[in-house]
Structure 1
Amino acid sequence: MIIKSSSLTIALALALAASAHAKPPAAASNEAATARHLASLIAGEPKSAELTLFFSQMPKGGDLHHHYSGAIYAEQYVDWVDKQGFCVYKSSYRIETNKETVAKERDKPALERSCLSSGEILADDFTYRELLQRWSSKDFDNHGAIQSPPDRQFFQTFGFFGPVSSNNFNEGLLELKKRAIQEHVGYIETMFKLAPLTPNASFDAKISQAGDDDAALTEAMRAWSGALEQDAAFNKGVADYVTQVGQAHAGVDDERFTMRYQAYVLRLLAPSQVFSSMLSAFKASSQSPLIVGVNIVGQESAPSSMRGYTLHMKMFQFLKTRYPHVKLALHAGELALGDVPPDGLRFHIDQALHLAGANRIGHGIDLAHESNAIGILKTMRERDIPVEINLTSNAFISGIKGDNHPVTLYRKYGVPYVIATDDAGVTRHTLAQEYALFASRYKPSYAEIKKVSYNSLRYAFLPPADKKRLSAQLDERYAAFEAAIAALPAQAVAGARR
């Protein structure tokens, strides 16, 4: 009798627990109706306009692969030219920042000026359109732009708008917040600002001499990191960086939206600059709850990036032992066949995982070429390490899309993933469009789409309490969205099913 009673008690407890997590009948019905509706939109030839409408309204937990400077549209940067007292050369579309030169230009008669104000750019339709084509991918696909190779077009945009992107941080973040709310995005984790760096010729020489000698490399990093951590100027730079992030963040968080930041390192620089910036980033992340992780950016196929890749991963490995709680979301494997010789495609994701200790992988599009591809998939699945999928970016920069995109492999082998924008201002799209592309190309179930949306909170570099709060908000938003889809006029639903 005691055994039976205990079994009954356990069964009752399990039943109560299950009912506590079960959806109310109406909610379950709405979810099922939404699933049927999405299935009707992707059956056969995808209904692109209706998919765009669907995903524009659908709640999207967050955007985890997001570059601040690349997320702001060129039109916004044009407005900031005057605000900073700069001008833009009509011949090159480069920004002039020297105030004396700008003043001399403004003293000239209007027809003789070679460097234009925001207003003068906007008044000249030809110049304005050409500027947008250089500062973003506008008109690239319809052949209205100067047709440089797409990867060059993409990476060169940052050199054009860079002088204004490093100003007006709070205004820029508030603009991104406004856009996110309009797009039903609750959280953004943005790569915000280059961490401070300190050049050191002696360290560069030691790194060159060390070559493949890991002991010599470790000793060089140990000695210089120790010196930097005792350096007042270096520590002030880190403190100022943390303060600047805090000031830029003013007014960003509220009950509708949350933003956090990744400090980043530029992989194109000399070893001393990369390492000192990396140390700054780790220290800043350990000092500020707003700075939740560290990343490394810059064109991965550039010669300096390729030569220094393994070295950079070893730098991360060294600093990760010093700051084990700092999270890493690393650009790795943003390479396609032909970008570099085949040998360069065989190890980047693997080293980001096994040397650097990445907590998330950004892009990961060279997966199929990696020597340890099956091991990578196994590691990411077993360690619950997600990949950040950026469909528009991968298609534009590298030509990777459709069945050639390794999202097909990540999905097949059970690797968690999130959908993100990368540089939505440069490539001129939205997170909703990324979901629409994904749905139209790969025809996922609504359950998978919804899981991906929640994944962007699950894998965010946030404390558990924040994840719980944002997930609860997302629950409410999905309940409202699914109710709205289920209540669509019968003729609209019937039309979608034809």
Structure 2
Amino acid sequence: MQNILSRSLLVALAVAAVPAAMAKEPATASRQAMEAATARHYATLIAGDEPKLAELTMFFTQMPKGGDLHHHYSGAIYVEQYLDFLDRQGLCVNKQSYRVETDKTVIASERAKPAKERNCLSSAEVYADDYTWRELVQRWSNKDFDNHGALQPPPDRLFFQTFGYFGPVSNANFKEGLQELKKRAIAENVSYIETMFKMSPFVSNPEFDARAWQLANDDAALDIELRRAMEGLERDTVFAKSIADFVAKIDEAAEGIDDERFTMRYQTYVLRLLNPSQVFSSMVAAFKSASGGGKVVGVNIVGQESTHVSMRDYTLHMKMFGFLKKVYPNVKVAMHAGELAMGEVPPEGLKFHIDQALSVARADRIGHGIDLAHEANAPGILRKMRAEDIPVEINLTSNSFISGIKGENHPVTLYRKYGVPYVISTDDAGVTRHTLSQEYVLFASRYKPDYLEMKKTSYNSIRYAFLPAAEKTRLTRQLDARFAAFETGVAALAKTAAARTRKR
């Protein structure tokens, strides 16, 4: 009797399961149909010699874009936001130099003068004087660079000089700045940002500087010197406190950012323009900060790569990274490497930067990588990145503006052709005044990938994030739901457009 009941129960369960299984099949088929309809609609937007840019802009503004993995906090804030910070900090802008005045005595003196005689202006006074506003925004960003006739510096100089103008206001108001970036990301359907937020603390040691330069080409001796320096830093209680304070400041700024719609994590970085002791101590602080399992998830290096110091010390920096990567093997490294174009440095300077970032520094992601075609080991770089699943972070707007690299001259054509994974990112959207959606528009209109490749690119920005597996799974499932809604909407829009076309 018991066996009969058991068999009956199994049959009942099997019968009950059939409708559920049948229900899943139409849902899957429906999702596939929506995806196919979206792909067909997208294909019409990129077809022909002149892609439909307005429609592509609408398409990618609505499309879920996963994350932005190459993102500088200070360069992402728009000038207008920095001017709001100006008043909050009680500072003013010198209307001759367009730099922020931080001397409280000078500020008090200026505010005591009649309005017409002031040389240092509040944000309201900047906006009220159109000439001053125009001049300021052209120095604090690249606005009007391509369509005005004034004398102007070379684009790379303008780009990197902007940070000196808004620097005094970018180093405060972090909570407000991060909230502004979150609001903008949600508005354009970006669910994750991994921002290069703050430079890790450092100390100076002239004796170490001299020895590091002397030992730069002796790997064994340099390794001993780096270990000695690291051990000295670890005994330094003041340095340890500076690291703890640094992490605490990031945690404080990050309060209230994460929610069910949006997640942000932080890279700390070192500045490659400093002396070796400053760079190495900053690296030690960065790796320690990122090893704690908190909101600091990776380490980077920043600063114009073509300057004298950057070029002179490049290999030394890579060896420092490689040394610390052995000490902290679980810390993720994203590396600005190969952000160079022909003519920016002598030809031999283009031959090794990406290669050393991968083979010496053991980078987990490559930022920019635009000198690829000139690298002596270009085929090996492509094989390594493909085989080891190391992505390149593509920043079309900044590559075009800073270095003049665009169109078929951009090595994304090579990375794609040889199967290297890539993500699309913004770099410094406040300086170059664009959005991640616009980067997708540029990519689609220039290189005409199919819809599935663009969709994969969005997922890549979660796949290659420096996040724990559980967080990636959560964000991927969230992205699945967002794409299902997006594709349903696009399919309906395309159907309506097709019906109107038939009526004509």
Q: Does 1:314 align with 2:308?
A: no
Give the alignment partner of residue 193 of structure 1, picking from 188, 195, 198. 198
Q: Distance in 2 between matches of 1:335 and 1:200?
A: 30
Percent of residue pairs identical: 69
TM-superposition CA deviations, 1:406-443 (whole Å, max 9, x none) = 00000000000000000000000000000010000000
Q: Distance in 2 between matches of 1:87 and 1:232?
A: 38
TM-superposition CA deviations, 1:89-119 (whole Å, max 9, x none) = 1001011111111111111222221111112
RMSD: 1.8
Q: Secondary structure at the match of 1:362?
A: strand
Residues 147-158 of structure 1 aligned to structure 2 (within 5 Å): 147-158=152-163
Q: Distance in 2 between matches of 1:370 and 1:22?
A: 51
CA 1:115–1:21 in 2, change beyond 3 Å: closer, same or farther? farther
Q: CA deviation at 1:147?
A: 2.2
Q: Distance in 2 between matches of 1:358 and 1:179?
A: 30
Residues 88-103 of structure 1 aligned to structure 2 (within 5 Å): 88-103=93-108
Residues 12-27 of structure 1 aligned to structure 2 (within 5 Å): 24-27=28-31
Residues 30-429 of structure 1 aligned to structure 2 (within 5 Å): 30-44=34-48, 45-143=50-148, 146-429=151-434
TM-superposition CA deviations, 1:132-159 (whole Å, max 9, x none) = 0000010111125542111011000000
Q: Is the 8 A contact 2:41 2:494 kept in 1?
A: no
Q: Is the 8 A contact 2:110 2:118 kept in 1?
A: yes
CA 1:392–1:246 in 2, change beyond 3 Å: closer, same or farther? same
Q: Distance in 1 between matches of 2:264 and 2:146?
A: 32
Question: Given residue 38 of structure 2, which amino acid in structure 1 is its aligned partner?
Answer: T
Structure 1 residues 488-497 or 291-300, which shifts more?
A: 488-497
Q: Residue in 2 aligned with 1:448?
A: 453
Question: Given residue 468 of structure 2, which amino acid in structure 1 is its aligned partner?
Answer: P
Q: Distance in 2 between matches of 1:456 and 1:166?
A: 27
Q: Distance in 1 between matches of 2:246 and 2:295?
A: 12
Q: Is the 8 A contact 1:246 1:290 kept in 2?
A: yes
Q: Distance in 1 between matches of 2:382 and 2:227?
A: 33
Q: Distance in 2 between matches of 1:323 and 1:101?
A: 47
Q: Distance in 1 between matches of 2:248 and 2:241?
A: 10
CA 1:370–1:107 in 2, change beyond 3 Å: closer, same or farther? same
Give the alignment partner of residue 432 of structure 1, picking from 424, 433, 437. 437
Q: Residue in 2 aligned with 1:5?
A: none
Q: Distance in 2 between matches of 1:318 and 1:495?
A: 64
Q: CA deviation at 1:123?
A: 1.1
Q: Is the 8 A contact 1:37 1:493 kept in 2?
A: no
Structure 1 residues 115-124 or 351-360, which shifts more?
A: 115-124
Question: Given residue 338 of structure 1, which amino acid in structure 2 is its aligned partner?
Answer: G
Residues 437-476 of structure 1 aligned to structure 2 (within 5 Å): 437-476=442-481
Q: Secondary structure at the match of 1:167?
A: coil
**TM-score, normalized by length of structure 1?**
0.94
Q: Is the 8 A contact 2:216 2:316 kept in 1?
A: no
Q: Secondary structure at the match of 2:478?
A: helix
Q: Secondary structure at the match of 1:24?
A: helix
CA 1:396–1:254 in 2, change beyond 3 Å: closer, same or farther? same
CA 1:302–1:454 in 2, change beyond 3 Å: closer, same or farther? same
Q: Secondary structure at the match of 1:141?
A: coil
TM-superposition CA deviations, 1:27-50 (whole Å, max 9, x none) = 111100000001000010200000
Rg (Cα) greater in structure: 2
Q: Distance in 2 between matches of 1:81 and 1:144?
A: 29
Structure 1 residues 277-286 or 106-115, which shifts more?
A: 106-115
TM-superposition CA deviations, 1:378-426 (whole Å, max 9, x none) = 0000000000000001000000000000000000000000000000000
Q: Secondary structure at the match of 1:85?
A: coil
Q: Secondary structure at the match of 1:487?
A: helix
Ranges in structure 2 where 5+ consecutive residues have no aligned partner: 1-19
CA 1:322–1:364 in 2, change beyond 3 Å: closer, same or farther? same
Q: Distance in 2 between matches of 1:184 and 1:374?
A: 36
Q: Distance in 1 between matches of 2:214 and 2:339?
A: 29
Q: CA deviation at 1:208?
A: 2.3
CA 1:304–1:490 in 2, change beyond 3 Å: closer, same or farther? same
Q: CA deviation at 1:469?
A: 0.4
Q: Secondary structure at the match of 2:332?
A: coil
Q: Distance in 2 between matches of 1:324 and 1:452?
A: 27
Q: Distance in 2 between matches of 1:203 and 1:328?
A: 24
Q: Distance in 2 between matches of 1:162 and 1:196?
A: 17
Q: CA deviation at 1:491?
A: 5.0
Q: How many residues align?
A: 482
**TM-score, normalized by length of structure 2?**
0.93
Q: Distance in 2 between matches of 1:494 and 1:353?
A: 53
CA 1:427–1:496 in 2, change beyond 3 Å: closer, same or farther? farther
Q: CA deviation at 1:20?
A: 7.9
Q: CA deviation at 1:216?
A: 2.2
TM-superposition CA deviations, 1:308-339 (whole Å, max 9, x none) = 10000000001011111000000000000001
Q: Is the 8 A contact 2:142 2:159 kept in 1?
A: yes
Question: Given residue 336 of structure 2, which amino acid in structure 1 is its aligned partner?
Answer: H
Q: Distance in 2 between matches of 1:289 and 1:449?
A: 31
Q: Distance in 2 between matches of 1:494 and 1:343?
A: 59
Ranges in structure 1 where 5+ consecutive residues have no aligned partner: 1-15
Structure 1 residues 385-394 or 95-104, which shifts more?
A: 95-104
Structure 1 residues 329-338 or 206-215, which shifts more?
A: 206-215
Q: Secondary structure at the match of 2:268?
A: strand
Q: Secondary structure at the match of 1:340?
A: coil
Q: CA deviation at 1:464?
A: 0.4
CA 1:487–1:398 in 2, change beyond 3 Å: closer, same or farther? same
Q: Residue in 2 aligned with 1:8?
A: none
Q: CA deviation at 1:450?
A: 0.4
Q: Distance in 2 between matches of 1:468 and 1:422?
A: 25
Structure 1 residues 212-221 or 413-422, which shifts more?
A: 212-221
Structure 1 residues 483-492 or 134-143, which shifts more?
A: 483-492
Q: CA deviation at 1:490?
A: 3.6
CA 1:257–1:145 in 2, change beyond 3 Å: closer, same or farther? farther
Q: Residue in 1 aligned with 2:12?
A: none
Q: CA deviation at 1:217?
A: 1.4
Q: CA deviation at 1:198?
A: 0.5
